[in-house]
């Protein structure tokens, strides 16, 4: 067993692949568990402001609550009740909780007819009414504007959930990204346009293939990217440290980070961004060891993909450029050929990929990007949006607070009928993040002592993190996500040095036990698994932690 873990070779072999597969399977089982519902309404009715929807019941009923499923638009409407479809009485006004999400509304009224008067353009997928015995009320007819009978709002009753939760409804920024992924598949006007299209196109693939807009489908690709990160970290660890045990440690630390777990299970695009940035850095590190053109090309390709998900991929590009040119200068390889390769793979290729992703999608006209001039105008609009954005979000935080996990973002909170609560927060595993701070200091000391063996890890960390010091708009802890892979590698480098000096091999299993303990304890607050509120409260280490 000792020989297995201590085997020294940066080349992947059969034992590595088996080990990696075991890690992936174990993590995959956990990450796919209750990822999202496989069924949700998929027939929708759109409404314009001033549209009127009349819901007719078989008899006069005591209506206690109404469940609705919002479509691609938030639904805002007023509710009126009547016994005879002539004289209506105002009941309440409703503002939907977000796109592709269930609402449960307490109405507490009595009548045979409900009238929904829409205030804004809206979309609904399903409607169900319940009496004071919690029984579903029979709906006889639904009529739009007293003319057209609507059948799409009661045709999928079998998918109505007993309990509304993250499992069957969108939450946090899914209301932007999942909605836009759906709109791409339908050729609709896209709601989220302030980021490049690649992340949402990847997210849209399962929706497009299955023709189903479900939480599982719009979270699937992000979770897969989260799993692929474990593979990349294994390869990265093997490349840098040349021993299987450090490759395993690199992969496991990523798997056991609570932030990584929460962020990659959510239907947004950050998983793809971090995966592509990490891949580009891996192939650059591989290139400076072998000078193979194919590695440089792959580094440039993944860099191209990263900036096509979010512009923050450019921060990874800063690290790539510094590492590339410093290495060429150090090894006296700053030739015309190598510079040409760099320009080709990190300027021409990214521009080609970035622009092509706008042009290749058949419905690109909806974002007014059907030619180069319109694409350039669109980039200007995106820049203006981000540079001029002024908002005051409670969970925003300063860039220098991220490493200590000062203020996680509270993604989801839902009281459930059992008296328990499900919650999802972006809290990082402090046994990793805090040791990461020490590892950064460690790398700095090594450089001061003129030991540059892992200096490129520090270059990567600072390139991905420090640019946020110069950004004026509000930011969140998830902007630190791309730093996590190199941070983990810096921790592994420090542990490797410590073991080589002390010969205390038990450091790795001891540290993994501590990391695993934190993951297990905080698993409920990053997964949405129901827990008693008093138990959740006990997990808050700081007043700035909300979940």
Mean pLDDT of 429-457: 94
Mean pLDDT of 516-539: 96
| Model pLDDT for residues 334-343, shown as the tens digit of each residue | 899 999 999 9
The rounded percent of the chain whose pLDDT value lies above 70 is: 98
Mean pLDDT of 233-260: 97
Structure tokens at 173: 């920024």
pLDDT at 82: 96
Mean pLDDT of 397-423: 94
Mean pLDDT of 455-484: 95
- 5 — pLDDT class (breaks 50, 70, 90): low
| Model pLDDT for residues 293-303, shown as the tens digit of each residue | 999 999 999 99
pLDDT at 190: 82
How high does pLDDT run on average in the chain?
Answer: 93
Mean pLDDT of 228-251: 97
CATH numbers and ranges of domains, the chain: 2-36+190-538 (no CATH), 45-159 (2.60.120.260)
pLDDT at 36: 97
Whether the pLDDT of residue 98 is over 90: the answer is: no
pLDDT at 418: 82
Alpha helix positions (H), 365-429: 372-388
Distance CA 269, CA 482 (A): 12
| Model pLDDT for residues 44-56, shown as the tens digit of each residue | 999 999 999 999 9
pLDDT at 367: 55
Contacts of 34 (CB under 8 A, 6+ apart): 167, 527, 528, 529
pLDDT at 369: 75
- 290-299, 410-419, 474-483, 517-526, range with the lowest pLDDT: 410-419
Distance CA 375, CA 358 (A): 8
Contacts of 39 (CB under 8 A, 6+ apart): 158, 159, 214
- 3-12, 93-102, 199-208, range with the lowest pLDDT: 3-12
Nearest to 182 by CA among 157, 166, 165, 205: 205
Whether the pLDDT of residue 174 is over 90: the answer is: yes
Tell me the pTM: 0.94
Which has the higher per-residue pLDDT, 286 or 6?
286
Q: 3-class DSSP state for residue 127?
A: strand
Cβ-based neighbour number of residue 311 at 10 Å: 17
pLDDT at 232: 98
Q: How far is the CA of 74 from the CAs of 10, 122, 275, 386, 415, in angstroms?
A: 52, 6, 31, 24, 22
């Amino acid at each position: 067993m000792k020989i297995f873990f201590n085997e020294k070779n940066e080349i992947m072999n059969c034992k590595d692949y088996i080990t990696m597969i075991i890690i992936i399977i174990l993590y995959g089982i956990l990450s796919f568990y209750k990822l999202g519902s496989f069924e949700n309404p998929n027939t929708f009715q759109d409404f314009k402001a001033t549209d009127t929807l009349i819901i007719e019941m078989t008899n006069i009923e005591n209506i206690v609550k109404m469940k609705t499923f919002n479509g691609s638009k938030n639904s805002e409407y007023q509710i009126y009740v009547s016994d005879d479809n002539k004289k209506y009485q105002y009941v309440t006004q409703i503002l939907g909780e977000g796109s592709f999400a269930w609402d449960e509304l307490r109405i507490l009224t009595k009548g045979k007819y409900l009238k929904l008067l829409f205030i804004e353009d809206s979309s609904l997928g399903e409607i169900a009414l319940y009496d004071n015995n919690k029984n579903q009320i029979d709906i006889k007819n639904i009529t739009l504007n007293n003319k057209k009978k609507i059948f799409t709002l009661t045709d999928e009753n079998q998918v109505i959930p007993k309990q509304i939760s993250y499992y069957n409804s969108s939450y946090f920024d899914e209301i932007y990204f999942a909605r836009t992924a759906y709109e791409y598949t339908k050729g609709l006007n896209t709601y989220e346009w302030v980021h490049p299209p690649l992340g949402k196109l990847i997210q849209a693939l399962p929706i497009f293939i299955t023709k189903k807009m479900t939480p599982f489908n719009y979270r699937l690709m992000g979770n897969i990217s989260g799993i692929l990160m474990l593979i990349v970290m294994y390869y990265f660890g093997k490349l840098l440290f040349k021993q299987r045990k450090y490759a395993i440690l690199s992969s496991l630390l990523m798997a056991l980070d609570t932030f990584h777990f929460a962020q990659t299970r959510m239907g947004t695009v950050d998983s793809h961004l971090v995966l592509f940035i990490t891949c580009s850095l891996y192939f650059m590190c591989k290139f400076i060891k072998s000078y193979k053109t194919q590695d440089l090309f792959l580094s440039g390709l993944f860099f191209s993909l990263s900036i096509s998900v979010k512009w923050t991929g450019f921060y990874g590009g800063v690290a790539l450029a510094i590492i590339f040119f410093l290495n060429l200068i150090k090894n006296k390889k700053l030739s015309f050929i190598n510079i040409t390769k760099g320009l080709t793979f990190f300027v021409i290729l990214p521009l080609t990929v970035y622009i092509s992703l706008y042009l290749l999608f058949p419905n690109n006209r909806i974002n007014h990007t059907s030619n180069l001039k319109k694409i350039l105008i669109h980039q200007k609009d995106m820049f203006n949006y981000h540079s001029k954005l002024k908002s005051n979000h409670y969970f925003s935080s300063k860039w220098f607070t991220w490493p200590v996990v000062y203020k996680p973002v509270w993604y989801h909170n839902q009281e459930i009928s059992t008296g328990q609560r499900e919650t999802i927060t972006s809290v990082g595993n402090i046994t990793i993040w805090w040791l990461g701070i020490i590892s950064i200091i460690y790398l700095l000391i090594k450089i001061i002592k003129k030991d540059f063996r892992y200096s490129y890890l520090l270059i990567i960390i600072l390139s991905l993190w420090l640019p946020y010091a110069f950004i004026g708009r509000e930011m969140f802890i998830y902007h630190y996500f791309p730093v996590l892979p190199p941070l983990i590698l810096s921790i592994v480098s420090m542990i490797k040095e410590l073991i080589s000096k002390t010969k205390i091999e038990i450091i790795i299993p001891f540290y993994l036990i501590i990391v695993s303990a934190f993951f297990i304890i905080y698993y409920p607050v990053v997964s949405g698994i129901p827990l008693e509120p008093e138990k959740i409260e006990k997990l808050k280490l700081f007043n700035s932690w909300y979940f």
